[in-house]
Amino acid sequence: MTERQAILRSVCENPAEHTPRMVYADWLEENGSPDYAEFIRDQVENRESTRDWDLLNDHWEDWFPGCKRYYGGFNRDRRTNAGIAVSLTGGGRAVFTDGFVAEMVFPTLEKYMRAVELRLWERQPVTSVKILDREPYMHYQTSIWRWYDARFLSAAGLAYELPIELWGAFHDMNKRSLVRRDKSWSFDTRDAALVGLSLGAVALGRHAVGLPMLSEVPA
């Protein structure tokens, strides 16, 4: 593992910590990437300027080669006023907070699984995931929202089905008392079901690169 890889791993292991991010910024400046270092520092220190926006726009192709963004697709994240939401081609989105991607929106489950395969969590401390073609099923009699294990349904490809890898991650990140064993996960609201999916998706991405679950990371 190179020095750069070791520092990045520390960032991804501890997504709530600012110190590893600033250490990475120092490394970047010392190794010929002062603009990237400035971008991270600007976001971590929440400087009131648009310099971080300009830096990301100017250097996107160099910093994130192969990751195509929608032309002109930069917006200030309304929830924090500090993060930068970047629209990606194909309907995805990445939200940068404190110099790194904190949230990913994937247009399809296939795109998400591809990101896991490409080891995204080695490079970005993503803590929130949305998958746009996955929608929990609402049982009309009980108003309970459910995700189903795709192995137990006869019709494949339904929006509320989850593949076995992601299903296993649910067991790691959600309360086991909520599970209807081997068939479905149940939640009281749609929002709670989507949060559950996010937790499972992040857990699977971290597991794929050997990172501890977020619940195991000291506060």
User: In a structure prediction context, what are the per-residue pLDDT tens digits for the chain, which is 219 residues long?
Assistant: 899 999 999 999 999 999 999 999 999 999 999 999 999 998 898 776 668 888 888 898 899 988 888 765 566 554 455 678 888 888 899 999 999 999 999 999 999 999 999 999 999 999 999 999 999 999 877 788 988 888 776 656 689 888 888 877 776 555 544 445 457 788 889 999 999 899 889 999 999 999 988 865 433
pLDDT at 40: 94
The CA radius of gyration of the chain, in Å to the nearest whole number, is 18
Q: Is 152 helix (H, G, I), strand (E, B) or coil?
A: helix
User: Do 149 and 169 meet the contact criterion of CB atoms below 8 Å apart?
Assistant: no
Q: What is the pTM of this model?
A: 0.87
Q: Is the dihedral of CA 119, 120, 126, 127 positive or negative?
A: negative
pLDDT at 49: 65
Tell the residue number behind the tokens 């010929």, with chain if given. 32
Domain ranges of the chain: 1-130, 134-219
pLDDT at 177: 45
30-57 burial string, b = 16+ CB within 10 Å, else e?
eeebebbbbbbbbbbeeeeeeebbebbe
pLDDT at 67: 84
pLDDT at 6: 95
pLDDT at 219: 35
